[in-house]
Structure 1
Amino acid sequence: MLEIPREILEATIAQAKEGFPLEVCGMMGGVGHRVTTRYPMTNTDASNEHFTMDPKEQFAAVKAMRAAGEEMLVIYHSHPESPARPSQEDIRLALTPNVCHLIISLERPDEPVAKAFRITAGVVEPVQLTIAG
C-alpha cells in the first residue's frame, strides 16, 4: 500500500499537465508507506517517451530526504499519451530497490489516471494507492 496526500498527488498531476507533451518526473519521500514530500525533477531527455532525472536535482533530493528523516518511497513520471502502466523501458530501467513507481497517465487529459507499481527484477506488481485528505 502507498498513501499519498491529495495535495501532493494534485501537484504531481499539475506538473504532468504543465509538462505536456513531454514526460515529467520526480521522487517522493516519506516514512513507512506514507508520502510526505514531493521532489519534482527536470527530465533531461526532454522526451514524450522516456525520462532521465537531472543527477544534481536527484542528489539534492536524496540529501534533503535524509536530512528530513525520510526514505525515498516513490519514483514518478508521466505518460503523456499512453496508459498508467509501466512500459518495457520502465521495467528495464527500474533498478532502485524497494520503491514504488507512480505513473500519471494523461491519455485522457481531462481524466488523469495515477497508478502505482513495484518493479523487481522485471516483475511488475500493482500497489494499492490511497489518497489521504
Structure 2
Amino acid sequence: MLRIPREIHEAVLEHAREGFPLEVCGILGGRGSEVLSHHRMTNTDQSNEHFMMDPKEQFALVKELRAAEQSMLVIYHSHPESPARPSQEDIRLALTPGVAHLIVSLMDQETPVAKAFTISEGTVAPVEIELF
C-alpha cells in the first residue's frame, strides 16, 4: 500500500493537466509507505508518448531526499492519451528497484485516473493507494 496525502495527489494531477498534451514526470519522496514530498522533474524528451527525467535534477533530488531522511518512493508520469497502466516502454525502462510507479491518465481531463504499480524484471503488480 502507498499512503499519499490528498494535497500531494492533487498536485500530481495538476502537474499532469498543466503539461498536457505532453507527458510530465516527477518523484514522490517519503518514509516507509508514506509519501511526504512532491518533486516535479523535467521531461527532457518533451514527448506525449514517453518521458526521460533530467539526470542532474534526479541526482540532486536524491541527495536532497537523503538530507531530509526520506527516500524515493514513487516515480510518476502522465499518459495524456492512454490508460493509467504501464506501457511496454514503461516496463522496459523501470530500472529503479523498490520504487512504485504512479501513472496518471488524462484520457478524461476532467476526471484524471491515477494508478500505482510495482514493476520488477518485467512483472507488473498493482499497488493500492490510500489518500489521507
Task: Provide the TM-score with structure 1 as the length reference.
Answer: 0.98
Q: Which runs of 5+ in 1 are unaligned?
A: none
Q: Distance in 2 between matches of 1:4 and 1:105?
A: 18
1:1-133 matched pairs, under 5 angstroms: 1-132=1-132
Task: Please identify runs of 4+ aligned residues in structure 1 that moved more than 6 A.
Answer: none
Q: Distance in 2 between matches of 1:2 and 1:58?
A: 21
- CA offsets 1:47-89 (integer angstroms, 9 cap, x no match): 0000000111111110110000001100000000100000000
Q: Distance in 2 between matches of 1:61 and 1:112?
A: 27
- Please tell me the root mean square deviation across aligned C-alpha atoms, in Å: 0.5
Q: SS in structure 2 opposite 1:65? A: helix
**Deviation at residue 118 of structure 1 after TM alignment:** 0.2
Amino acid in structure 1 at the alignment position of 2:85? R
Identity %: 67
Q: Distance in 2 between matches of 1:16 and 1:23?
A: 7
Q: SS in structure 2 opposite 1:52? A: coil
- CA offsets 1:36-57 (integer angstroms, 9 cap, x no match): 0011101000000000001111
Q: Distance in 1 between matches of 2:22 and 2:32?
A: 31
Q: Distance in 2 between matches of 1:26 and 1:64?
A: 14
Q: Which runs of 5+ in 2 are unaligned?
A: none
**Deviation at residue 94 of structure 1 after TM alignment:** 0.3
- CA offsets 1:80-107 (integer angstroms, 9 cap, x no match): 0100000000000001000000001101
